[in-house]
């Protein structure tokens, strides 16, 4: 409790408040640009946090994350194009509302739902993370190996539409993580006689390359010009109070969507698009008037936006406790934690408790900040986003990307690695291997290797050493969960093939 | 542009090629160093073979869509690498100004021919954008950006 109060005190400074305000606004700008995901927003703005203190940097990125997920709702509602994949479900009812001249109502509802979702996610994170971190101490090398495998299986199954390709991506990521000096043997691996590779592939460099460059190449190829200016943001007859009554008048929808968001957020790798689609589907299923969904029902917007903003803080439960990102953008937060010498686990809630609690609380502040920024600055942000030509945007983002990658280690080679990984990522995406499993493999590779090698070293006298990986109940349960995770991915495909499901669509994670 | 390509076989072959590149130099590494990569390499090879087999037995996508113009894709891709190479020779500021200008001009041509007057009109915005970022990183964030012929 003392730590929480100390964290609150560090947060309520002019510097922190300005950081949150700027972070939310910047995130909102990038999130509102179609195709630019929350991961990309974090990757592009990451370099600006390098010179900041650890807490300020984390506050800034938390605010960018919150702002970018919310920002996706703007274009989803106004021009039927989700700014981020997390807002896919927002288009279903948001755009019909805009066409009916109810754009302001839809945006105000999305803002309120996002604020509630953001705050609920923070509350869950504050309640769930510390006990889970204490429990995580019981995880030995074998358990950590299975946790890494679980994260990989789940992201592979959820992100690409093909389990085999997802797992292949995960393996590629894991192998990329082994380049450089081995953490156990201490020898240099896979440098091909090129000494600069001894430092390995920096996580953030890979993240920037794999998330940003393919999208820039896509933008260039498509020649994405100015967005159609069909959506208008005019305040009609609806007042904020009326919208608030609509949103909070049906609390069951809001509560259900937040709970769905939190449950899915804890699953490693499941992104905001999964949470919003599931929450939307459940809102429709439980509605007294399901036929009105897709035709401008505000409940659909509330379900989608509340659940995807719960995910922002909610997905950090596995990140801060076990070091496993709950969603792809969390990988960048992990990169920042590691940059500042902070390792996920119990220490984050004891030795660095003030910093961690400050970061968590700052996301609550960022959620609250969505209200003034979204409602007052919404019109300006919309105008800027709609009118910025892509031929300025693309070189601008590329410049920040190059600057950011270079600034990380003052390394010219890192820029080249980032471009190579990004270019490879573009072509791999074409053949169905997504960036998310590769990135997760890169992150989990180190955890898995330490767990695997340490377990086998301890079992050197055993007749079958690898059986030590299944030595106790916890590791058996985790191994079973890995199998269940892999099987779960196959169920929708089996249902589709057996004709019990019309079409299974799986979208990219944000 | 649509390209006829069995994505399962393509992904499988890529996996096998990637595994082969890392399999060859493993010989001179110690047991502890190679233990984990070897396990992953075996899994990668098995997954790749499974994908190739699946590609023949029950293929997924048999064509790949490259959205938009492949020429523009290639030009921008090469442009990014040229930008990177130019940074070493010309320094960050000059290389970025040249690359930014060239990319903006090239991409703006999608909407029609770009006249000289239009380019001149953009100059203050482009200069301001590049200089703001350059000085922010150099002076505020204290990043030692690469220098070249002029800066």
Q: Which of residues 107-126 of B touch A (CB under 8 A)?
A: 107-108, 110-111, 122, 125-126
Angstrom distance (rounded) from CA B18 to CA A466: 26
Angstrom distance (rounded) from CA A54 to CA A166: 33
Count up the domains in chain A and report the number: 1
Please give the model's pTM, rounded to 2 decimal places.
Answer: 0.77
**Count of residues making up chain B:** 151
Nearest to A123 by CA among A249, A5, A259: A259
Q: Does A384 touch chain B (CB under 8 A)?
A: no
Torsion of CA A370, A373, A378, A381, to 10 degrees: -110
- pLDDT-based confidence at A509, cuts 50/70/90? very low
Residues of A in contact with B141 (CB under 8 A): 47-48, 50-51, 407
CA distance B19 to chain A (A): 9
Nearest to A281 by CA among A504, A79, A110, A493: A504
Sign of the dihedral defined by the CA atoms of residues A438, A440, A443, A445, in that order: negative
Radius of gyration over every alpha carbon of chain B, rounded to an integer in angstroms: 23
Residue A279 lies in a domain: yes
User: Mean of the pLDDT values across residues B67-80?
Assistant: 92
Residues of B in contact with A423 (CB under 8 A): 77, 80
Tell me the per-residue pLDDT of A39-90, one tens digit each, with 9 for 90 and over: 878 888 887 777 788 888 889 999 998 888 888 888 778 777 666 777 778 8
CB of A118 within 8 A of CB of A248?
Answer: no
**Count of residues making up chain A:** 510
Give me A295's structure tokens.
């035709």
CA distance A160 to chain B (A): 12
Q: Which of residues 27-66 of B touch A (CB under 8 A)?
A: 29-37, 39-41, 43-44, 47-48, 50-51, 54, 60-61, 64-66
Tell me the per-residue pLDDT of A228-263, one tens digit each, with 9 for 90 and over: 445 555 555 577 888 888 888 888 999 999 998 888
CB of A132 within 8 A of CB of A323?
Answer: no
Domain range spanning residue A463? 2-224+237-497
Q: Which of residues 59-88 of A touch B (CB under 8 A)?
A: none
Tell me the per-residue pLDDT of A316-370, one tens digit each, with 9 for 90 and over: 888 888 888 777 788 888 888 888 888 888 888 888 888 888 889 999 999 999 8
- pLDDT-based confidence at B9, cuts 50/70/90? very high
Angstrom distance (rounded) from CA A500 to CA B102: 53
Residue A407 lies in a domain: yes
* Minimum-distance CB partner of B104 among A171, A184, A391: A391
Contact call for B60 and A47, based on CB within 8 A: no
| Number of DSSP helices (H) and strands (E) in chain B, helices first | 5, 2
Residue A231 lies in a domain: no
Angstrom distance (rounded) from CA A167 to CA A311: 24
Tell me the per-residue pLDDT of B102-115, one tens digit each, with 9 for 90 and over: 999 999 988 788 88
Residues of B in contact with A162 (CB under 8 A): 60
The strand pair at B2-4 and A188-189 is best described as unpaired
Pick among A160, A169, A220, A411 to test the B interface (most B CBs inside 10 A): A220
Show Cβ contacts of residue A410 under 8 Å, excluding neighbours closer than 6 positions: B143, B144
Show Cβ contacts of residue A144 under 8 Å, excluding neighbours closer than 6 positions: A322, A447, A448, A450, A451
pLDDT at B96: 94
Give me B34's structure tokens.
């190679």
Higher pLDDT residue, A229 or B83? Answer: B83
Sign of the dihedral defined by the CA atoms of residues B112, B113, B115, B118, in that order: positive
Average pLDDT, chain A: 82
Torsion of CA A210, B127, A68, A229, to 10 degrees: -110
ipTM comes to: 0.93
Q: Which of residues 220-279 of A touch B (CB under 8 A)?
A: 220-223, 225
* Minimum-distance CB partner of B72 among A220, A428, A453: A220
Q: What is the share, in percent, of chain A residues with pLDDT greater than 70?
A: 87
**For tokens 């700014």, what's the residue?**
A83
Residue A506 lies in a domain: no
**For tokens 């990102």, what's the residue?**
A325
Question: Strands (DSSP E) along B43-99, which ranges?
Answer: 63-65
pLDDT at A27: 87
Q: Does A398 touch chain B (CB under 8 A)?
A: yes
Angstrom distance (rounded) from CA A508 to CA A36: 12
Angstrom distance (rounded) from CA A484 to CA A491: 10
Question: Strands (DSSP E) along A124-187, which ranges?
Answer: 180-181
CA distance B50 to chain A (A): 8
Q: Does A152 touch chain B (CB under 8 A)?
A: no
Residue A509 lies in a domain: no
Nearest to A28 by CA among A309, A299, A335: A309
Radius of gyration over every alpha carbon of chain A, rounded to an integer in angstroms: 22
- pLDDT-based confidence at B48, cuts 50/70/90? very high
pLDDT at B148: 82
Least trusted range by pLDDT, from A138-147, A200-209, A231-240, A266-275: A231-240
Angstrom distance (rounded) from CA B92 to CA A291: 57
pLDDT at A227: 47
- Is the pLDDT at A423 greater than 90? The verdict is yes
Contact call for A407 and B103, based on CB within 8 A: no
Average pLDDT, chain B: 88
pLDDT at B130: 92
User: Mean of the pLDDT values across residues A204-228?
Assistant: 78
Angstrom distance (rounded) from CA B92 to CA B99: 10
Angstrom distance (rounded) from CA B32 to CA B36: 8
pLDDT at A232: 56
Tell me the per-residue pLDDT of A290-301, one tens digit each, with 9 for 90 and over: 888 888 889 999
pLDDT at A495: 60
pLDDT at A498: 62
User: Mean of the pLDDT values across residues A257-280?
Assistant: 77
Tell me the per-residue pLDDT of A386-395, one tens digit each, with 9 for 90 and over: 677 888 888 9
pLDDT at B149: 74
| SS3 at position B63 | strand
What residues form DSSP beta bridges with A180?
Answer: A189
pLDDT at A226: 41
pLDDT at A234: 59
Contact call for B143 and A410, based on CB within 8 A: yes
CB of A312 within 8 A of CB of A65?
Answer: yes
Give me A57's structure tokens.
């940097």
Least trusted range by pLDDT, from A228-237, A329-338, A470-479, B116-125: A228-237
Of A143-147, A181-185, A270-274, highest mean pLDDT: A143-147
H or E element, residue B3? strand B2-4
User: Mean of the pLDDT values across residues A32-44?
Assistant: 76
Burial of A162 (0-12, 13-18, 19+ CB in 10 A): buried
Show Cβ contacts of residue A333 under 8 Å, excluding neighbours closer than 6 positions: A42, A58, A61, A62, A65, A316, A319, A325
Pick among A395, A403, A410 to test the B interface (most B CBs inside 10 A): A395
């Amino acid at each position: 409790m003392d730590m929480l109060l100390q964290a609150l005190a560090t947060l309520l400074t002019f510097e922190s408040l300005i950081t949150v305000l700027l972070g939310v606004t910047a995130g909102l700008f990038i999130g509102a640009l179609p195709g630019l995901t929350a991961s990309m927003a974090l990757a592009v703005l990451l370099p600006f946090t390098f010179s900041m203190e650890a807490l300020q940097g984390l506050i800034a990125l938390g605010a960018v994350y919150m702002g970018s997920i919310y920002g996706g709702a703007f274009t989803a509602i106004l021009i039927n194009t989700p700014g981020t994949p997390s807002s896919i479900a927002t288009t279903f009812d948001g755009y019909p509302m805009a066409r009916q001249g109810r754009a302001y109502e839809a945006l105000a509802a999305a803002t309120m739902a996002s604020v509630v979702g953001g705050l609920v996610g923070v509350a869950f994170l504050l309640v769930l993370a510390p006990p889970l971190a204490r429990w995580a101490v019981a995880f030995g090398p074998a358990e950590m190996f299975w946790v890494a495998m679980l994260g990989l299986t789940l992201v592979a199954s959820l992100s690409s539409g093909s389990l085999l390709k997802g797992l292949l991506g995960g393996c590629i990521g894991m192998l990329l993580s082994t380049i450089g000096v081995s953490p156990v043997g201490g020898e240099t691996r896979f440098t091909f006689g090129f000494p600069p590779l001894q430092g390995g592939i920096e996580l953030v460099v890979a993240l920037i390359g794999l998330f940003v460059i393919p999208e820039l190449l896509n933008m260039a190829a498509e020649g994405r010009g100015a967005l159609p200016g069909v959506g208008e943001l005019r305040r009609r007859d609806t007042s904020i109070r009326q919208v608030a009554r609509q949103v909070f008048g049906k609390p069951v929808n809001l509560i259900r969507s937040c709970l769905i968001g939190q449950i899915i957020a804890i699953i490693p790798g499941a992104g905001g698009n999964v949470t919003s689609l599931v929450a939307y589907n459940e809102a429709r299923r439980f509605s007294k008037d399901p036929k009105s969904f897709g035709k401008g029902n505000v409940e659909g917007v509330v379900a989608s936006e509340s659940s995807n903003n719960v995910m922002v803080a909610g997905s950090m439960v596995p990140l801060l406790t076990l070091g496993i990102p709950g969603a792809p953008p969390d990988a960048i937060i992990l990169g920042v934690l590691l940059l500042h010498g902070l390792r996920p686990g119990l220490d984050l809630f004891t030795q660095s408790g003030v910093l961690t609690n400050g970061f968590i609380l700052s996301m609550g502040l960022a959620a609250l900040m969505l209200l003034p920024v979204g409602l007052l600055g919404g019109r300006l942000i919309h105008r800027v986003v709609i009118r910025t030509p892509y031929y300025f945007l693309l070189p601008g983002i590329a410049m920040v990307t190059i600057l950011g990658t270079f600034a990380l280690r003052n390394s010219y080679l890192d820029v080249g690695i980032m471009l190579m990984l990004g270019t490879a990522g573009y072509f791999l995406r074409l053949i169905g291997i997504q960036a998310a499993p590769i990135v997760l493999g890169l992150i989990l590779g180190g955890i898995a290797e330490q767990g695997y090698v340490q377990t086998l070293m301890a079992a050197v006298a055993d007749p079958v050493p690898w059986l030590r990986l299944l030595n106790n109940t916890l590791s058996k349960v985790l191994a079973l969960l890995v199998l269940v995770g892999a099987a779960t991915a196959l169920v929708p495909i089996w249902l589709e093939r057996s004709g019990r499901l019309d079409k299974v669509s799986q979208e990219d994670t944000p | 542009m649509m390209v006829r390509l069995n994505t399962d076989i393509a992904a499988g072959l890529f996996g096998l090629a990637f595994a082969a590149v890392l399999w060859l130099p493993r010989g001179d590494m110690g047991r502890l160093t190679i233990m984990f990569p070897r396990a992953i390499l075996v899994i990668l090879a098995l997954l790749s073979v499974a994908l190739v087999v699946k590609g023949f037995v029950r293929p997924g996508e048999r064509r790949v869509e490259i959205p938009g113009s492949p020429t523009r894709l290639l030009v921008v891709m090469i442009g990014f690498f040229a930008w990177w190479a130019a940074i070493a020779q010309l320094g960050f500021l000059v290389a970025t100004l040249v690359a930014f200008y060239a990319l903006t001009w090239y991409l703006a041509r999608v909407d029609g021919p770009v006249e000289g007057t239009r380019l001149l009109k953009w100059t203050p915005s482009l200069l301001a954008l590049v200089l703001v970022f350059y000085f922010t990183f150099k002076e505020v964030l204290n990043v030692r950006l690469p220098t070249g012929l002029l800066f």
